[in-house]
């Protein structure tokens, strides 16, 4: 039996037939569905005659639709069947009409497989290949690839498929990040997800459910299955996924069928739909389910304008009874919506009911850690996760790990069943310098923006250090409250200078000409010199108006102040009118201080603010609590500047070299 690389290379060679009508990044449109089709053809070969006969028997009878599919699936001994009399061998018999026969053959599959090929949009590719006169050749070449289960086991077939998916996504660098996560990132995520669960998963009869709501081509689902097979073969993991990219969904769905992974029910492990939309035909396809594990790599920095109306409605109408009760991030990055969506489906911790809680691993860019100030949607979501003691850790990955972006990425581990030693704590782990040059272990060259990868040994090193939960150069441990702060409003008094000038006088009287006599009296009594105590000045003006038996409306008094006063740092503070104590605040001088939750606000204010701004005070009625995780701050290492003498030597050497080169040019 050949290894999976041999078969993957054989199929890869067939892709060369597409050159011309297809560009290399488009090969997957044909090669993935054709590989699926050939595998299904081989799997069903042994029961083919029985299924065709059974279909003829029930044709035109009472059994139709799902009931007929279920019956024929049982005859086939699989979760799918094909009742067409055609197969790959017979398709080769009529080259002129192979396009029609291939479409007919696909329509002979059970509904679950037909749905996959509809999302592959494969009929359009069949016609394109037929018009280019390469369809017959492609089908013939695939007919020669023996993918029978006796020759290629399910696990090996999965490896072949994963190999092809990776290669095709490497060709399509411009979009790969949208639906393909590097395999070493997935492996690290899976290892961290299951790191504390060996005892739980080793329990006889253990059954667990896992969801990836942005599953792409299903890489995370496949890796989670692999981990369980290698470490806990007696445990069952029902892996579920959802995606809104048609080809990605079709790829993941067919991969699940090919591997015959553990499933619960009809086998529709992967479902098509827009994860962020509410329960609807094209929305959340797991509305009432809960899961033990979650894995996901949602798109980086993708907006949710198309879903905004429905998401906002769910947030406002259902709050925490829905998925987005904690808050809504800014519309140009919906990453934290995926976190809330998944965590709304968590399992409670109720051991007596055999509910062991949930663990979640999700990849984010740096933005969800710090974007948004206190009171913003992002900050409120972070607050919700941290104050509930769900955030176990954040692991920083090396840059240049992805195919279409060089940005830094971070794995968040979220759980409602922390180990006792981790309760009330968050671990930050810096793995940014744990990498090997090259796009993958199989290729030392860069693959698009992917110039680095992590070896298995490096992944094991990170997981081992993570599991020790100890302080070190790469591992920092914090209390939950260390990431929180109170946003305190700092006020300073309003200081106003009174002065009447010709221009201001004209402007005021233009608005209220009936006050001419009063204004003339004020002008005569107080003159044109600036007065630095507005409160005292206005008190005297009020007495003057009272003596003149003139009563101004509130609006006229406000207009007078706005026209004839200016802010002046040398002026006296303006007291609050009425019985209230204190001074009016100057909105232009208003500032904010982020006081750590671990400190008393008044003590912090007296120490950090008053020595520099002695006339300031805090308005505690406007306090807001915020949370942010400034990863770089915690791992910053100060590098002393170079000595000036050393810099001078380098500059002198550079100058000498420039002079030497100029001489060579001029001689």
Q: Are residues 501 and 400 in the same domain?
A: no
Residue 578: what pLDDT? Answer: 65
Q: Domain boundary residue among 567, 588, 606?
A: 567
Q: Domain boundary residue among 520, 535, 567?
A: 567
Q: Are residues 347 and 246 in the same domain?
A: yes
The backbone torsions φ and ψ at residue 33, rounded to the nearest 5 degrees and listed phi first, read -65, -35
**DSSP β-bridge partners for residue 242:** 271
The strand pair at 293-296 and 207-212 is best described as parallel
Q: Are residues 538 and 467 in the same domain?
A: no
Residue 215 lies in a domain: yes
In the DSSP assignment, the letter for residue 455 is -
Q: Are residues 155 and 182 in the same domain?
A: no
Question: Residue 336 is inside which H or E element, if any?
Answer: helix 335-343
269 closest CA partner among 281, 280, 260: 260
Q: Are residues 562 and 476 in the same domain?
A: no
Q: Domain boundary residue among 140, 165, 190?
A: 165
Q: Are residues 221 and 185 in the same domain?
A: yes
- Which residue spans within 434-564 are E strands per DSSP? 436-437, 452-453, 475-479, 484-491, 496-498
Residue 122 lies in a domain: yes
Residue ranges of alpha helices (H) inside 350-417 are: 367-370, 377-387
How far is the C-alpha of 637 from the C-alpha of 634, rounded, in Å? 9
Helix 48-58 vs helix 65-76: angle between axes, to the nearest 10 degrees? 150
Q: Are residues 412 and 513 in the same domain?
A: no
Q: Are residues 423 and 512 in the same domain?
A: no
Residue 625 lies in a domain: no
Q: Are residues 479 and 533 in the same domain?
A: no
> What pTM did the predictor assign?
0.87
363 closest CA partner among 333, 332, 386, 394: 394
- Which residue spans within 378-516 are E strands per DSSP? 391-396, 409-415, 425-430, 436-437, 452-453, 475-479, 484-491, 496-498
Digit-coded pLDDT (tens) for 601-612: 999 999 999 999
Q: Are residues 344 and 217 in the same domain?
A: yes
Name the token pair of 498: 């009174």
Domain that holds residue 501: 496-567
What's the burial of 666, exposed, middle or buried (CB within 10 Å: 0-12/13-18/19+)? exposed
Q: Are residues 115 and 252 in the same domain?
A: no
- Which CATH number goes with the domain that contains 223? 3.40.50.150
Question: Residue 592 is inside which H or E element, if any?
Answer: strand 591-596
Helices (H) and strands (E) in the chain, counts: 27, 18
Residue 397 lies in a domain: yes
Residue 175: what pLDDT? Answer: 44
Angle at 443 between CA 439 and CA 447, to 5 degrees: 35
Q: Are residues 55 and 81 in the same domain?
A: yes
Residue 24: what pLDDT? Answer: 87
Residue 621: what pLDDT? Answer: 95
Residue 274 lies in a domain: yes
Q: Domain count for the chain, please give it.
A: 3
The strand pair at 293-296 and 359-365 is best described as parallel
Residue 103 lies in a domain: yes
Residue 392 lies in a domain: yes
Residue 84 lies in a domain: yes
Spans in the chain with pLDDT lower than 50: 1, 174-177, 179, 264-265
How far is the C-alpha of 602 from the C-alpha of 616, rounded, in Å? 12
Residue labelled with tokens 């006792």: 420
């Amino acid at each position: 039996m050949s290894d999976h690389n041999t078969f993957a290379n054989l199929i890869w060679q067939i892709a060369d037939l597409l050159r011309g009508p297809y560009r290399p990044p488009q090969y997957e449109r044909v090669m993935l569905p054709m590989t699926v089709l050939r595998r299904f053809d081989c799997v069903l070969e042994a029961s083919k005659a029985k299924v065709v006969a059974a279909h003829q028997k029930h044709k035109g009878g009472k059994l139709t639709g799902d009931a007929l599919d279920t019956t024929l699936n049982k005859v086939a001994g699989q979760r799918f069947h094909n009742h067409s009399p055609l197969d790959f061998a017979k398709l080769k018999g009529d080259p002129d009409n192979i396009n029609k026969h291939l479409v007919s053959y696909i329509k002979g599959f059970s509904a679950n497989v037909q749905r996959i090929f509809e999302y592959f949009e494969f009929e359009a590719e069949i016609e394109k290949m037929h018009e280019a006169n390469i369809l017959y050749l492609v089908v013939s070449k695939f007919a020669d690839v023996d993918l029978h289960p006796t020759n290629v086991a399910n696990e090996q077939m999965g490896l072949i498929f994963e190999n092809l998916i990776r290669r095709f996504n490497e060709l399509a660098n411009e979009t790969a990040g949208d639906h393909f996560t590097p395999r070493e990132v997935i492996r690290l995520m899976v290892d961290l997800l299951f790191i504390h669960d060996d005892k739980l998963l080793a329990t006889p009869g253990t059954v667990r459910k896992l969801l990836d709501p942005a599953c792409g081509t299903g890489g995370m689902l496949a890796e989670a299955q692999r981990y369980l097979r290698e470490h806990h073969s007696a445990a069952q993991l029902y892996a579920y996924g959802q995606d809104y990219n048609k080809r990605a969904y079709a790829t993941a769905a067919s991969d699940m069928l090919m591997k015959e992974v553990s499933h619960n029910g009809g086998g529709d492990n992967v479902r098509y739909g827009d994860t962020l939309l509410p329960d609807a035909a094209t929305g959340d396809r797991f509305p009432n389910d809960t899961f033990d594990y979650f894995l996901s790599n949602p798109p980086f920095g993708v907006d949710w304008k198309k879903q905004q109306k429905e998401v906002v409605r769910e947030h406002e109408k259902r709050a925490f009874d829905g998925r987005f009760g904690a808050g809504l991030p800014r519309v140009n990055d919906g990453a934290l919506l995926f976190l809330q969506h998944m965590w709304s489906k968590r399992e409670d911790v109720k051991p007596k009911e055999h509910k062991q809680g949930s663990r979640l691993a999700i990849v984010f860019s740096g933005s969800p850690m710090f974007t948004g100030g206190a009171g913003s949607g992002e900050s409120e979501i972070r607050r919700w996760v941290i104050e509930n003691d769900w955030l176990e850790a954040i692991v920083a990955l090396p840059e240049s790990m992805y195919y279409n972006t060089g940005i830094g990425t971070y794995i968040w581990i979220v759980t409602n069943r922390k180990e006792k030693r981790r309760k009330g704590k968050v671990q930050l782990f810096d793995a940014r310098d744990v990498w090997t040059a090259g796009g993958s272990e199989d290729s030392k060259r860069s693959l698009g923006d992917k110039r680095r990868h992590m070896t298995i040994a490096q992944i094991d090193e990170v997981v081992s250090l993570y599991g020790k939960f100890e302080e070190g150069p790469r591992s920092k441990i914090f209390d939950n409250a260390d990431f929180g702060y109170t946003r305190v409003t700092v006020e300073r008094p309003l200081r106003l200078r009174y002065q009447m000038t010709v221009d201001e006088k004209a402007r005021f009287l233009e608005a209220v000409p009936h006050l001419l006599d009063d204004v003339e009296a004020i002008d005569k009594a107080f003159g044109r010199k600036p007065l630095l105590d507005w409160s005292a000045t206005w008190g005297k003006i009020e007495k003057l108006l009272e003596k003149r038996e003139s009563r101004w409306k509130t609006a006229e008094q406000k207009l007078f102040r706005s026209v004839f006063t200016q802010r002046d740092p040398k002026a006296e503070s303006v007291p609050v009118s009425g019985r209230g104590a204190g001074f009016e605040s100057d909105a232009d001088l208003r500032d904010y201080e982020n006081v750590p939750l671990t400190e008393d606000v008044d003590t912090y204010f007296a120490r950090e603010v008053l020595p520099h701004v002695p006339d300031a005070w805090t308005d505690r009625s406007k306090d807001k609590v915020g949370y942010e995780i400034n990863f770089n701050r915690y791992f910053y290492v100060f590098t002393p500047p170079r000595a000036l003498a050393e810099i001078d030597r380098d500059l002198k050497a550079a100058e000498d070299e420039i002079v030497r080169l100029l001489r060579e040019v001029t001689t």
